[in-house]
């Protein structure tokens, strides 16, 4: 199955980002094709390499980047939402790229299912 994923919440405010990460990881392990993960609204904070969680906390920014590297996963950050939150190319974490809403529309058309995490 071809899957698109939309993440609307940041890594430290709600469970949605954690759930999205575990969903994507499980889908890949089950052999599904995750076409793209699109980060929108506060979800763009998942791509901020300047975030530094405590040593005993999970680091979702790194986890997403590692997953992308390991599985050639396309992690796209909405440019408008990112700029509103001060996220530019120079503070974008490894594995993420900035693009427009067209990337969300494109994956919605190409995927069999698009799953949204967060409001």
8: CATH = 3.40.1260.10
Percent of the chain with pLDDT over 70: 100
Give the domain range for residue 60. 2-117
Cβ count near 108 (within 10 Å): 15
Please identify which of the residues 78, 79, 82, 87 carries the catalytic annotation. Answer: 78
Active site residue 74: no
Ranking 34-43, 52-61, 62-71, 82-91 by mean pLDDT, the lowest is 52-61
Strands in 1-119 per DSSP E: 2-7, 33-39, 75-78, 96-99, 113-117
Predicted local confidence at residue 97, as pLDDT: 97
Rounded to two decimals, what is the model's pTM?
Answer: 0.94
What does each C-alpha distance from 48 to 28, 55, 96, 106, 114 come to in angstroms? 24, 17, 9, 24, 24
Torsion angle defined by CA atoms of residues 91, 84, 70 and 52, in that order, rounded to the nearest 10 degrees: 50
Report how many domains make up the chain.
1
């Amino acid at each position: 199955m071809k899957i698109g994923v939309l993440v609307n919440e940041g890594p430290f405010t709600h469970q949605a980002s954690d759930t999205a990460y575990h969903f994507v990881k499980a889908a890949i392990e089950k052999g599904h094709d995750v076409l793209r993960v699109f980060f929108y609204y506060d979800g763009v904070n998942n791509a901020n390499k300047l975030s530094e969680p405590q040593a005993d906390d999970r680091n979702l920014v790194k986890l997403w980047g590692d997953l992308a590297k390991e599985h050639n996963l396309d992690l796209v950050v909405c440019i408008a939402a990112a700029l509103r939150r001060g996220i530019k190319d120079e503070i974008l974490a490894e594995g993420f790229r900035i693009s427009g809403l067209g990337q969300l529309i494109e994956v919605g058309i190409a995927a069999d299912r698009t799953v949204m995490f967060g409001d």
